Amino acid sequence: MATLRATGITVSVGSGAATRRALAGVGVEFLPCTVSLLKGPSGSGKTTLLSVLGGLLQPDQGRVDLDDADIYAGDSSLAALRRRAFGFVFQSCQLFPTLTALENVRIPLDLRREPRQRADQRAEELLVRVGLGDRRDARPRQLSGGEQQRIAIARALAADPAILLADEPTAALDAHGGADVARLLARAAHDLEKTVVIVTHDDRLIPFADRVVALLDGRVVSDRARRQ
């Protein structure tokens, strides 16, 4: 389990007269075993904040602490930290079209040079967890959009990260597929004790969330817990 904390995060984009603040002193904390939604209109800073939280975009000012260590400080490799501590789920599933479902899920384990037998076993377990154990040999073109996103969630969980970050994971899905994905992300938080942060415009995710953080013009304007 891990706590993710952003303090005084400022990010500017553009240059010269076109420079604007994408984030303006954002401070927010995300706890284990919870699903937090980042909501707000386009341009409010949601995806920028998610990128900063995940070690993908260094802020101009401020710090991001994973437990009590600033991820942007020191000489440690951010790429290695991302592989170890973070799992990412995107709107476009980013599956490799020539690989099977099992091979796509296994990618993070292959990058860690896990023994093949152990990696295959872990990937198979995760496919069962997301309800696709019988689709291990299917390629992305043989899967629905919802099934592809479930494969992407399994891949994000493969290396057992403490933090799961998702950017609009249900935006391209119908009601049934979106509910399946939301349910899996909630289970990752509550059953697997992950810290789950989701950027979304999709109000269908609200019933699955423990908390909703609203952004506007690069600032947090509300932070509301939905349940204890």
Each residue's pLDDT tens digit, 110-169: 988 999 999 999 999 999 999 999 999 999 999 999 999 999 999 999 999 999 999 999
Express each pLDDT in 52-80 by its tens digit: 999 999 999 999 999 888 999 866 688 88
The domains found in the chain, sorted by start residue, are 32-47+78-225 (3.40.50.300)
At residue 83, φ and ψ (nearest 5 deg) are: -65, -35
Q: How far apart are CA 38 and CA 223, in angstroms?
A: 9
Mean pLDDT calculated for residue range 88-109: 93
The DSSP output letter for 20 is: E
Mean pLDDT calculated for residue range 92-98: 90
Q: How far apart are CA 49 and CA 8, in angstroms?
A: 11
**CA angle at residue 207 from 223 to 205, to 5 degrees?**
85
- Tokens 């599956």 found at: 95
Residue 41 predicted with pLDDT over 60? yes
Contacting residues for 45 by C-beta, under 8 A, at least 6 apart:
11, 22, 23, 26, 215, 217, 218, 219
- Tell me what pLDDT residue 207 has: 93
- Tell me what pLDDT residue 21 has: 86
Residue 1 predicted with pLDDT over 90? no
- Tell me what pLDDT residue 228 has: 45
The DSSP output letter for 216 is: E
CA 173 to chain centre: 17
Contacting residues for 31 by C-beta, under 8 A, at least 6 apart:
3, 195
Confidence of residue 227 (pLDDT cuts 50, 70, 90): low
Express each pLDDT in 162-220 by its tens digit: 999 999 999 888 998 899 999 999 999 999 999 999 999 999 999 999 999 999 999 99
Structure tokens at 175: 């009601």
